[in-house]
Structure 1
Amino acid sequence: MDTNLREIIAQIDAYSAEKTLPTAKTTALFHSLLSDAVAKATSAEADGTFFVKTGDIPAMWLRDATFQVLPYIKLMKAVPELKNILIGVLRRELRYVQHDPYANAFNQTASGAHWSDDDSDIPVSDLVWERKFEIDSLCAPLFLALKLYKNTDNHDFLDDEFWQTLSVTMTVLETEQHHDQSSYYFKRVDCPANDTLTNDGKGTPVGYTGMVWDGFRPSDNACEYGYHVPSNMFLVAVLSQITPLIPTEFSALKVRVQKLVKAIKQGITHYAMVTLPTGQVGYAYEVDGLGHQKLMDDANVPSLLALPFIGYTSIDDSIYQNTREFILSKQNPYYYEGKILAGIGSNHTPEAYVWPISLAMEGLTSTDPAVKVAQLEKIAATDNETDQCHESVSVDDVSQYTRDWFSWANMTYCELALDVLGV
């Protein structure tokens, strides 16, 4: 680790040491975790960018990396040197997207390491760890760029490289509006059914909706129906905010973005607004444009629970509140209750395991300070004396959990802690 990173870590630790949360346990965990992403996950690269591994897996997920460094946006005034790291993470994300916009996770170097040896039949480069197409992977750099834009005065990072990467992104998104005409496929053998796509790697059939087809959910599990609604909403949120920033020399790109946003919005209204089991109108999790709907929510962000957090809607929006009521109930097949915990899990992890990320998101999407504090305390109680927020935790036994080190969960806890602190 270089000297500059050590100095930044020391400044982050000094900042956190001055903060006190409602309980000793929540405070201690915050002090332990705030520097986690820089201290343990981030590496400075020779080209001035920064590689951020997801935790106990050595690859960089575009989605995870954005959410891992997101709390540092709020710390830039206290630790100004964080800006260079955040821009460096953004630039590495942009270069990964340019290298392969269909990939979700990348190696630090072109080592040829892949998640699975079975991926040899997929057109995957030596720099790519995994080539699952997930819309949120393309949204993540835009989300990070927007947060930087709103919290800094120098916007030099919105340069030609940025807009050219957006053009690459748009080409893929436009292609996947018509997935039946796309060359993308993903086939993996000797794996769980949700780790590969059916129909010879093309996924279940879909009809045109205006939305963008998605191969895999943010959980990295295959979509049951091809239009993942929260990811399309994430697209609307980031592209709508990016549009006014597109310079005049990229006017054709601006027109493309506006056209896509309009089509997705129409698709959401026509196909994704449904009658929930509660009898209220809300959002489906997935649809296929052929009459099928998946009514659920998953812990991974973007999720229906996280819609206000990703900038798609307001917390008090009635359709969102109807959806929230449904997904935070046993009518959501991935909502679990036990002796210790209640919350949203995922088919990516065992049944009756709740994700601290979703517990944090409950707090981050609530206007009630008491709820925020309660969620912070719930998460802190799940660390099993490891000073870590795990991927998922049994609702009955906190000693049963997945992943020893999951940096995204750690930093989402810190995001909620900073919210509670009013930062």
Structure 2
Amino acid sequence: MDVYTPAMATDVIEGIGDALGPAVAAVFSGCFLDTLEHTIALSAGGSAFVVTGDIPAMWLRDSTVQLTPYLHFLERDPKLAQSAIAVSRRQLACIDRDPYANAFNQGPDGAGHWSDQTEMSPWVWERKYEVDSLAYPVQLAYDIWTLTGRTEHLELFPTVARSIVGVWRTEQDHDQTSSYRFERPGSPGDSLARRGLGRPTGHTGLTWSAFRPSDDTCVYNYNVPANMLAFVELSHIAELADAVFDDWELAADARDLRDSIGRGLTGYAVTTGPSQEPVYAYELDGLGGVLVMDDANTPSLLSLPLIGWCELDDPLYQRTRAFLLSEANPTFSRGAAAAGIGSPHTPPGSIWPIALAVQGLTALDHGERDRMLSTLMATHADTDRMHESFDKDDPTIYTRPWFSWANAMFCELALDCAGMRTYRRTAAGTVLR
């Protein structure tokens, strides 16, 4: 079974070359084809398993974002559309097995972090509970429906959506109602305090997360961008429940939880930045603890317009963005090779290509957008691929030589620079060009 039609890929790569030149087209070609040819495994049962690259597991978040540049071409390529449907079908089946797991095995082989002290299963590679791991598969399911009108990937959707709503509602009061626990023997940085329960939190209306999109433990367990993504995707659950399943009960439940999280974001998510200006917090605990920073992994504060939380020109977002792209943000680095946002997940002074691509995609100025593409072209260390991170002064020092998520984000930025993105998300919904 073929994942895509080669003629489609050839046309897209040639379009990039015509718009941006042969050097960009060469890197784009490698990144675009790599995910299609080396990470997606179609199965006879109509689902597809997606590896992140150099780790042989399927992350729910990564496998969604890895497909981002291909969604623009679903209507041009029936094989590609079928592949996206197969990935979505697999994601929903994974959540149905365990809504608290973030990464899964291709089969029930017990690979991964089996010694973790949590309710593991042979299907689960890692059971780090992250709000975004439930939100991103909803995003993919919704995008496929919006862009193609097809619904065959949604067989499990009502069941899984109810599970997602139930988990997010339970985790609004984690200390009192949640059974989730996580400890990793020998790795205190990957373990939750209080014997796996986590640090204390106060009730805010936000939904609790053990880990960030980087898979690092949260400092404060209400992750703001993840809650914003949950808010957006609860609207999408409600829309699908209404339009596809005529399920008023699921739609009402999703909207009720969305509104509760929205009130929490209104009441708690805005804080004071280093220059005494209002900005979005990255994490908080409802007890006075607030973390003012960003992480390169999405959903991030920098990525808020891309996930549909706000418009690019939203004043609060723009103030937050200015802070994030300055030395006042503890994860921002400036060096001889580049300047950009990194992550505590990688060594100090590292910059993430994902964050550079997001910076370009959220730029109001096309000059800034084009500079980000040029920076990515200058920092791939002659590998023609993107990496997890690179040293701010020396791009030949990098982490993860094969990281499909970063490759996908380079492709998305190149498509934007070439005028070839066919849709974008806004606070009002998905907009087709």
Aligning the two structures, in what range does the TM-score lie when normalised by the shorter sequence? Answer: over 0.9
1:215 is aligned to: 210
Report if the CA contact (8 A) 2:161-2:237 is conserved.
no
Counterpart amino acid of residue 53 in structure 1: V
Q: Secondary structure, in 3 states, of the residue corresponding to 1:43?
A: strand
Shift of 1:117: 4.7
Q: Secondary structure, in 3 states, of the residue corresponding to 1:118?
A: coil
1:186 matched to 2:182? The reply is yes
| RMSD of aligned alpha carbons | 1.4
Report if the CA contact (8 A) 2:130-2:209 is conserved.
yes
Partner of residue 259 from structure 2, selected from 254, 262, 271 = 262
1:200 matched to 2:214? The reply is no
1:111 matched to 2:109? The reply is yes
Aligned residue runs from structure 1 range 337-352, under 5 A: 337-352=334-349
Shift of 1:15: 2.8
Q: Secondary structure, in 3 states, of the residue corresponding to 2:305?
A: coil
Counterpart amino acid of residue 374 in structure 1: R
Partner of residue 167 from structure 2, selected from 172, 178, 193 = 172
Report if the CA contact (8 A) 2:75-2:148 is conserved.
no
Report if the CA contact (8 A) 1:15-1:78 is conserved.
no
1:290 is aligned to: 287
1:364 is aligned to: 361
Counterpart amino acid of residue 335 in structure 1: F
Q: Secondary structure, in 3 states, of the residue corresponding to 1:393?
A: strand
Deviation readout 1:371-407 (Å, 9 max, x if unpaired): 2211111112111111110000000001100001000
1:392 is aligned to: 389
CA distance in 2, matches of 1:408, 1:380: 16
1:407 matched to 2:404? The reply is yes
CA distance in 2, matches of 1:23, 1:57: 32
Shift of 1:9: 4.4
Shift of 1:14: 4.3
Report if the CA contact (8 A) 1:380-1:389 is conserved.
no
Unaligned runs of 5+ in 1: none
Q: Secondary structure, in 3 states, of the residue corresponding to 2:140?
A: helix
Shift of 1:303: 0.2
2:227 is aligned to: 232
CA distance in 1, matches of 2:123, 2:353: 30
1:241 is aligned to: 236
Counterpart amino acid of residue 112 in structure 1: G
Shift of 1:244: 2.7
1:131 matched to 2:103? The reply is no
1:152 matched to 2:144? The reply is no
Report if the CA contact (8 A) 2:327-2:333 is conserved.
yes
Count of residues paired in the alignment: 416
Counterpart amino acid of residue 184 in structure 1: Y
1:301 is aligned to: 298
CA distance in 2, matches of 1:108, 1:283: 38
Counterpart amino acid of residue 93 in structure 1: Q
Deviation readout 1:309-339 (Å, 9 max, x if unpaired): 0001111111101111111111111001111
Shift of 1:22: 3.0
1:29 is aligned to: 27
CA distance in 1, matches of 2:276, 2:65: 34
Q: Secondary structure, in 3 states, of the residue corresponding to 2:211?
A: coil
Deviation readout 1:277-319 (Å, 9 max, x if unpaired): 1221111000000011000000000000000000011111111
Q: Secondary structure, in 3 states, of the residue corresponding to 2:88?
A: helix
Partner of residue 78 from structure 2, selected from 77, 80, 84 = 80
Shift of 1:149: 2.1
Counterpart amino acid of residue 305 in structure 2: P
Report if the CA contact (8 A) 2:66-2:404 is conserved.
yes
2:429 is aligned to: none
Partner of residue 418 from structure 2, selected from 390, 403, 421 = 421
The percentage of counterpart residues that share the same residue type is 43
**Cα 1:117/1:145, change in 2 over 3 Å:** closer
Counterpart amino acid of residue 338 in structure 1: G
Shift of 1:238: 1.5
What TM-score results when the alignment is normalised by the length of structure 1?
A: 0.95
Report if the CA contact (8 A) 1:13-1:35 is conserved.
no
Point out the more displaced range, 282-291 or 235-244.
Answer: 235-244
CA distance in 2, matches of 1:273, 1:19: 40
CA distance in 2, matches of 1:296, 1:23: 36
Report if the CA contact (8 A) 2:16-2:24 is conserved.
no
**Cα 1:226/1:151, change in 2 over 3 Å:** same
